[in-house]
Amino acid sequence: MANKYPFQDIEQKWQKWWEDNGIYHAKQPSDTKDKKFYTLVEFPYPSGDGLHVGHPRSYTALDIVSRKKRMEGLNVMYPIGWDAFGLPTENAAIKKKMQPAIITEKNVATFKRQTQSLGTGFDWSREINTTDPKYYKWTQWMFIQFYNAYFDESLQKARPITELEIPAEIQKDGDLAIRNYRDSKRIVYKTTTTINWCPACKIGLSNEEAQGGVCERCGGEVEKREKEQWMMRITKYANRLIDELSDVNYLDKIKTQQINWIGRSEGALIKFAITQNQSQDHVHRTIDEIEVFTTRPDTLFGATYLVLSPEHPLLTSWIDHDAIENIKEVKDYQETTRKKSDRERQENKEKTGVEIHGLKAVNPATGKEVPVWIADYVLAGYGTGAIMAVPAHDERDYEFAKKFELPIIKVVVPPALAELSHPPANITPVSQEDVRVESECWIGEGISINSEFLNDLTTDKSQEKIVAWLEEHGAGHGCTNYKQRDWVFSRQRYWGEPIPMIHCEKCGWQPVAESELPILLPDVENYEPTDSGESPLSVIIDWVNTTCPACGGNAKRETDTMPNWAGSSWYFLRYCDAENDQVFASPEALKYWMPVDLYDGGMEHTTLHLLYSRFWYKVLHDLGHIPESCGVEPYAKRTAHGMILGEGGIKMSKSKGNVVNPDDVISEYGSDVFRCYEMFMGPFDTDAPWDTHGIQGIKRFLDKIWSLHQTRTTNDELRTTNPSDAKFEIRNTKYESILHKSIKKVGDDIDAMRFNTAISQLMILTNTLLESESVTDDDYKTYLKLIAPFAPHIAEQIWHNFGNESSIHLEAWPTYNPDLLIEDTITLGVQINGKVRGEITIAPDAKESEAMEAAMQDENVKKYLDGTEPKKVIYVPGRILNIVI
């Protein structure tokens, strides 16, 4: 069957030829004067399951863009590697009793074979692997650079810790105080935080591994545990991570999701004095002060009680000082909260809490005393871990106040001003029908109101007026808060980069000397987690015991490892200069290649990997390890592809048995069909279900391309390339115009990543050429070049059948002749009163009178006009003729 595309005989041959000839190897800046284009896909995690059909969607899409850019003369780098550290491999190692390194090697081999069989034009000479010591040496090196840096608030950038000014009052307290002060400013720091703990597996879990409060491994409930952890001060970059998004071209939904995740909100910190009821003399004495964060300082007058999170540190001090009358009740509530899993806390939103007897809080604006409560609806980790409750203006406070019968006071603008302010107060109670307001008060009520304060107290201004008043009276100040927390960077795991730190009793934490890097992961026999929740590395005594880099005394290594986000936070930099063993990448290489021009990946990485790597890049850039000229953002453009779902639109999963294996698709249809099918399924950024029938249509398309070539080459008469031959001049204007339209459309569609419509245009073109009596060699070659980015193998084969020796993928991308885009005549719809009643065929630039004349010839139009004189004629050349009667 000669007119079937014989992919079995063709595809592997070209894959080998491309690699042998380095067709896709990018030139380094020293070897070229060409402009660069850097295309990046998220490097895969080589799991034991092998490649998913979702991977090729991203790879093929960016491959098409890369191939077109290459044909346009750019020096394209499209690299690939392996993000191979991580939990699934470690779990497999425990289960199979094999070394994680060996499992990784096996998985990488499978992934590499599968990826190569796709025919993607990756530059394999730059292949990297995060578990390779030559790679993670630099991950560790960067960790140390971050440790040796602090964030300068006034410059809003990282600087070497040696440049940190030590305040005089710290200096006078001596070396230890100075050391503590420095440690409190470092970008990398160690502190006690709460981690997710699975009691069944005896293992610490990351938030991602404990989603919904359930252990990813065993499905059991997850507890909280206190643990010393290494942290990254990403919160210092919160403002820049939001503001510098304006420099980049990301999908809007990606930007919004990042902004929401960081969760910046403007408000104020307000101080409430805490007074104790001295029962002997009935005098209320101030014993403490507590700060609350609010985004609505203007509702301060309606604050009828204060709520602390059960974890609030002041509670411990009050308990210790016996300031609380109902200590047992408070302690019990704290204990109950601690035992609650995240899931319980999330699912059960019924408000609970305990009033603290013996203490009151003083509202700084009104001077009135209000009760103090603890409740778990106040989160320890956000703001100050304490709130002023304004039940009339906050739903949660309202619910709580209802349950515990606390007063509800609505804040309004003073009546005298309500008339003046237009519109009047837009401060609305949470639920207007529902709120039974016990009383109202004015904004500013209780403050010694002066006329100036009142004069421009409108609703819009009330926020800033109150903040100004608070600042003036030392009762608070404006403040910005973020939902995002610092990045927990420790894992009590084996299969990750060892954290290159050493602890010395005398000198504290010391980074490993750079000359000692990489700190290799030692072999261990047992990956099972330890009872104490320490990393499996902690039991390798020989490895743990070392000497202090500072004093030479006995010291111990850090046994925690890095999270698997570490290696992926900078891999795009390594590609620029993957073989360099002096630096992670040379400044010249970085200057040339960075930033990444186009980066595609899944939406699921928007708030983790994408944010982490932007942060990581900014720190390196601030510290001068990335040339200034590269800019402050690593990725100029970021897109996100949709998922490929199983047949019927449900997610592919082993348990549902609807997983499609790329190997099977390739052996049945070949890579070109596979590629084109995934591009044709639907818009690139939308989820699409797999359809076994749909792939048939693409197979037919490729067979048509092949059969077009077969009929051409077997017909010698049409093969002439001699312009003097009369046959050369036989032109089919129909195909010519469609060919040039296709050059434009396919090119535009690739640039806009509309691959589905590009392929539909190529189908139209192929069908047209099949119907045409003859096609010139030049036009046919143009056609092949349009096909090449989508179906590289078949295009290369036919190209070589023509006697070409070099690759079609290095040919110049075709240009179109704008004159040929304009057709001599077009069909135009004719509307009567906005309804289509006929069609006319006229020149695209015909005048209105000509169009009207043509329309009058149309029987149907005539019938509808019925001799009536048009009231109005709307004629948009090339678009529409609308006659209003």
Q: Interaction with RNA in 796-835: which residues (CB under 7 A)?
A: 826-829, 831, 833-835
Considering only residues 861 through 880, tell me which ones interact with RNA, judged by CB under 7 A. 872, 874, 876, 879-880
Position of tokens 């990581």?
Answer: 616
Q: Which is nearer to RNA, 144 or 195 (CB)?
A: 195
Taking the complex as a whole, the smallest distance from the CB of residue 830 to RNA amounts, in Å, to 8
Map residues 747-776 to x or -, x wherever contact with RNA holds by CB under 7 A. -xx--x-x-xx-xx--xx--x---------
Q: Which is nearer to RNA, 152 or 208 (CB)?
A: 208
Tell me if 364 contacts RNA by CB under 7 A: no
Taking the complex as a whole, the smallest distance from the CB of residue 880 to RNA amounts, in Å, to 4
Tell me if 117 contacts RNA by CB under 7 A: no
Tell me if 335 contacts RNA by CB under 7 A: no
β pairing state of 872-876 and 880-884: antiparallel
Taking the complex as a whole, the smallest distance from the CB of residue 754 to RNA amounts, in Å, to 6
Tell me if 694 contacts RNA by CB under 7 A: yes
Taking the complex as a whole, the smallest distance from the CB of residue 366 to RNA amounts, in Å, to 18
* Integer Cα distance of 496 and 84 in angstroms: 9
Q: Binding RNA by CB under 7 A: which of 191, 346, 428, 554?
A: 346
Give the count of residues interacting with RNA (CB under 7 A): 86
Closest CA to 255 of 779, 611, 673, 721: 611
Cα–Cα distance list, 111 to 136, 566, 599, 677, 679 (Å): 21, 21, 21, 21, 21
List of E strands, 702-846: 826-832, 835-842
* Dihedral angle of Cα 852, 853, 857, 861, to the nearest 10 degrees: 20
Taking the complex as a whole, the smallest distance from the CB of residue 277 to RNA amounts, in Å, to 26
Tell me if 256 contacts RNA by CB under 7 A: yes
Considering only residues 716 through 745, tell me which ones interact with RNA, judged by CB under 7 A. 745
Taking the complex as a whole, the smallest distance from the CB of residue 447 to RNA amounts, in Å, to 20
Sign of the Cα torsion 211, 217, 222, 226 reads negative
Considering only residues 837 through 856, tell me which ones interact with RNA, judged by CB under 7 A. 837, 839
Q: Which is nearer to RNA, 109 or 379 (CB)?
A: 379
Largest Cα–Cα distance of the chain, in whole Å? Answer: 119
Q: Which is nearer to RNA, 84 or 306 (CB)?
A: 306
Q: Which is nearer to RNA, 124 or 382 (CB)?
A: 382
Contact status, residue 164 vs residue 185, Cβ threshold 8 Å: yes
Q: Binding RNA by CB under 7 A: which of 267, 302, 476, 662?
A: 267
Closest CA to 254 of 572, 638, 618: 638
Taking the complex as a whole, the smallest distance from the CB of residue 349 to RNA amounts, in Å, to 4
Q: In this structure, what token pair is assigned to residue 410?
A: 């609505």
Tell me if 882 contacts RNA by CB under 7 A: yes
Q: Is 773 exposed, middle or buried (0-12, 13-18, 19+ CB in 10 A)?
A: exposed
Considering only residues 301 through 330, tell me which ones interact with RNA, judged by CB under 7 A. 309
Map residues 607-626 to x or -, x wherever contact with RNA holds by CB under 7 A. x-------------------
Contact status, residue 410 vs residue 304, Cβ threshold 8 Å: no
Taking the complex as a whole, the smallest distance from the CB of residue 281 to RNA amounts, in Å, to 35
Considering only residues 140 through 179, tell me which ones interact with RNA, judged by CB under 7 A. none
Considering only residues 652 through 691, tell me which ones interact with RNA, judged by CB under 7 A. 680-683, 686-689, 691
Cα–Cα distance list, 34 to 72, 593, 634 (Å): 11, 12, 21
455: number of Cβ within 10 Å? 12
Q: Which is nearer to RNA, 550 or 764 (CB)?
A: 764
Q: Helix (H, G, I), strand (E, B), or coil: what is residue 799?
A: helix
Q: Which is nearer to RNA, 269 or 502 (CB)?
A: 269
Sign of the Cα torsion 622, 626, 632, 638 reads negative
407: number of Cβ within 10 Å? 15
Q: Binding RNA by CB under 7 A: which of 332, 528, 604, 778?
A: 604
Q: Which is nearer to RNA, 378 or 562 (CB)?
A: 378
Q: Binding RNA by CB under 7 A: which of 73, 160, 263, 415?
A: 263
Tell me if 697 contacts RNA by CB under 7 A: yes
Considering only residues 11 through 70, tell me which ones interact with RNA, judged by CB under 7 A. none
Taking the complex as a whole, the smallest distance from the CB of residue 433 to RNA amounts, in Å, to 14
Q: Which is nearer to RNA, 723 or 867 (CB)?
A: 867
Q: Is 305 exposed, middle or buried (0-12, 13-18, 19+ CB in 10 A)?
A: buried
Q: Which is nearer to RNA, 187 or 765 (CB)?
A: 765
Q: Which is nearer to RNA, 159 or 483 (CB)?
A: 483
Taking the complex as a whole, the smallest distance from the CB of residue 836 to RNA amounts, in Å, to 4
Taking the complex as a whole, the smallest distance from the CB of residue 844 to RNA amounts, in Å, to 11
Tell me if 293 contacts RNA by CB under 7 A: yes
Q: Could you tell me which residues are beta bridge partners of residue 831?
A: 836, 882
Burial 275-300, CB ≥16 within 10 A → b, else e: bbeeeeeeebeeebebbbbbebbbbb
Closest CA to 809 of 831, 829, 787, 833: 787
β pairing state of 386-389 and 305-308: antiparallel
Considering only residues 482 through 511, tell me which ones interact with RNA, judged by CB under 7 A. 483
Considering only residues 374 through 403, tell me which ones interact with RNA, judged by CB under 7 A. 376-379, 382-383, 385, 387, 390, 394, 396
Closest CA to 126 of 49, 190, 43: 43
Taking the complex as a whole, the smallest distance from the CB of residue 715 to RNA amounts, in Å, to 17
Number of residues that this document lists for the chain: 885
* Integer Cα distance of 288 and 276 in angstroms: 9
Tell me if 538 contacts RNA by CB under 7 A: no
Q: Could you tell me which residues are beta bridge partners of residue 387?
A: 307
Considering only residues 541 through 600, tell me which ones interact with RNA, judged by CB under 7 A. none
Q: Which is nearer to RNA, 240 or 700 (CB)?
A: 700
Contact status, residue 567 vs residue 139, Cβ threshold 8 Å: yes
Q: Which is nearer to RNA, 447 or 765 (CB)?
A: 765
Q: Which is nearer to RNA, 113 or 879 (CB)?
A: 879
Q: Which is nearer to RNA, 89 or 299 (CB)?
A: 299
The residue type found at 613 is S
* Integer Cα distance of 451 and 457 in angstroms: 10
* Integer Cα distance of 123 and 130 in angstroms: 17
Burial 193-216, CB ≥16 within 10 A → b, else e: bbbbbbeebebbbbeebbeebbbb
List of E strands, 102-202: 128-129, 149-152, 157-160, 188-198
Q: Which is nearer to RNA, 334 or 535 (CB)?
A: 334
Q: Which is nearer to RNA, 678 or 811 (CB)?
A: 678
Piece in contact with RNA (CB under 7 A), picked from 44-52, 553-561, 601-609, 621-629: 601-609
Taking the complex as a whole, the smallest distance from the CB of residue 22 to RNA amounts, in Å, to 35
Taking the complex as a whole, the smallest distance from the CB of residue 79 to RNA amounts, in Å, to 28
Q: Helix (H, G, I), strand (E, B), or coil: what is residue 584?
A: coil
Q: Binding RNA by CB under 7 A: which of 696, 711, 715, 868?
A: 696
The residue type found at 859 is E
Considering only residues 442 through 481, tell me which ones interact with RNA, judged by CB under 7 A. 481
Taking the complex as a whole, the smallest distance from the CB of residue 52 to RNA amounts, in Å, to 17
Radius of gyration of the chain (CA): 35
Contact status, residue 301 vs residue 365, Cβ threshold 8 Å: yes
Q: Which is nearer to RNA, 252 or 869 (CB)?
A: 252
Taking the complex as a whole, the smallest distance from the CB of residue 660 to RNA amounts, in Å, to 15
Q: Could you tell me which residues are beta bridge partners of residue 285?
A: 276
* Dihedral angle of Cα 189, 190, 193, 199, to the nearest 10 degrees: 130
